[in-house]
Amino acid sequence: MIERLAIISPGLLGGSIARAAREKSAARRIAIWARRAETRTAIVKQPWCDDAPDTLAAAVAGAGLIIIAAPVDLIVPLTAEIAPHLTPGAIVTDVGSVKGAIARAGAEALSRAQSDATISGKRRDAASTANQFVGSHPMAGSEKTGWEQGTATLFEGRTCFVTPIETTSEAAVRTVSKFWETLGADVFTVTPELHDQIVAHISHLPQLLASSLCSFLAGQNPEWKNFAGGGLRETTRIAGSDPQLWKSILTSNQAPVLAALRGLQAELAKCEQALAAGDWDEVAALMSRGKAYRDGFKA
């Protein structure tokens, strides 16, 4: 069990982590820092929050595990901001949907703070008490947002990537992995770069497709949406996600997403050619390949 867990900038994921950590006894005490005072006032009344201090320094003081639950473009800046205030041996992780840009910069932010402290004589860490940044990505988003929408079961049976780099200690990977497993997630350890390639295909590409389909249909007769059956509803549900959140995800994963999108465009061009030529066997073959893939999903 984590003695003291700190959650920074809780949204849907941070609010769910706190609930799940309390319910599954993953942490003895849970401190939460939110930027807005009114959020701190509301959140400290929750049964899954023990402490909601005004400052980042107070929130991370004494915490063995710190989870930065902010949008991807704020994760590294927040890591740099908390770095000077961490307890020796503390481990920092995040929940960002991209990892290449974050895992390395996060680790650098911590080691820079530690060398500054060592030079100024404030700290003299042995390797075992050095702070560690280990990127995480629980694949448990939703089109919902806000800590109020969180649920303790959000991570159950979901994939959580943990993305160490060359300098990450095995102990830190173990601690972070164990935390997510306690919350019910299935943990996979991959490099940040492979992670980004995977999610470009299985998460960012479907998001762009759903958004593009809706954007296209909006330019047709928008009343047609009233006729939507289950297929269109399901296919497009994630188009309701927050565009600003996605803008920062896509900004941080440009090249892998572009490669995935171009691959899909090539597949659609094949489909279009078969349709135009009336090559129905080719159309059926494409659909059969798709069905075989989809039928292979875990239930």
Taking CB under 8 A as the binding criterion, the range among 17-25, 38-46, 174-182, 207-215 that sits at the site for its own copies is 207-215
- 247 lies in the binding site for its own copies (CB under 8 A): yes
**Least Å distance between CB 19 and its own copies?**
18
Nearer to its own copies by Cβ, of 8 and 205: the residue is 205
Q: Considering only residues 113-172, where is the footprint of its own copies by CB under 8 A? A: 139-142, 158-159, 161
Distance between CA atoms of 105 and 99, rounded to whole angstroms? 10
CB of 214 to its own copies, least distance (A): 3
Residue 298 CB burial class (10 angstroms; 0-12, 13-18, ≥19)? exposed
Which of residues 121 and 230 has its CB atom nearest to its own copies in the complex?
230
- Which segment (1-9, 55-63, 176-184, 204-212) binds its own copies by CB under 8 A? 204-212
DSSP readout, 58-119? HHHTT-SEEEE-S-HHHHHHHHHHHGGGPPTT-EEEE--S--HHHHHHHHHHHHHHHHHHHH
Q: Is 35 in the site for its own copies (CB under 8 A)?
A: no
For residue 77, state whether it binds its own copies (rule: CB under 8 A): no
3-state secondary structure of 136: strand
Stretch that binds its own copies, among 52-60, 64-72, 115-123, 291-299 (CB under 8 A): 291-299
Q: Taking the complex as a whole, how short is the minimal distance between the CB of residue 219 and its own copies, in angstroms?
A: 8
**Interface segment toward its own copies; rule CB under 8 A; list 38-46, 60-68, 123-131, 212-220:** 212-220
- Of 1 and 269, the one with the shorter C-beta distance to its own copies is 269
Taking CA 165 as the corner, what is the angle to CA 115 and CA 138, rounded to the nearest 5 degrees? Answer: 115
Q: Is 271 in the site for its own copies (CB under 8 A)?
A: yes
- Check residue 58 for interaction with its own copies (CB under 8 A): no
Shortest Å distance, C-beta 170 to its own copies: 23
Site membership for its own copies, residue 227 (CB under 8 A)? yes
Phi-psi region of 50 (alpha: psi -120 to 50; beta: other; left: phi over 0): alpha
Question: How many chain residues bind its own copies (CB under 8 A)?
Answer: 89
In the sheet with 2-8, reading across from the earlier edge strand, the strands are: 27-33, 2-8, 65-68, 91-94, 132-133
Judged by beta carbon, residue 128 or residue 220, the one nearer its own copies is 220
E runs forming strands in the chain: 2-8, 27-33, 65-68, 91-94, 132-133, 135-138, 159-163, 186-189
Nearer to its own copies, 169 or 235 (CB): 235
Task: State which residue, 166 or 281, has the beta carbon closest to its own copies.
Answer: 281
What is the DSSP code (8-state) at residue 215?
Answer: H
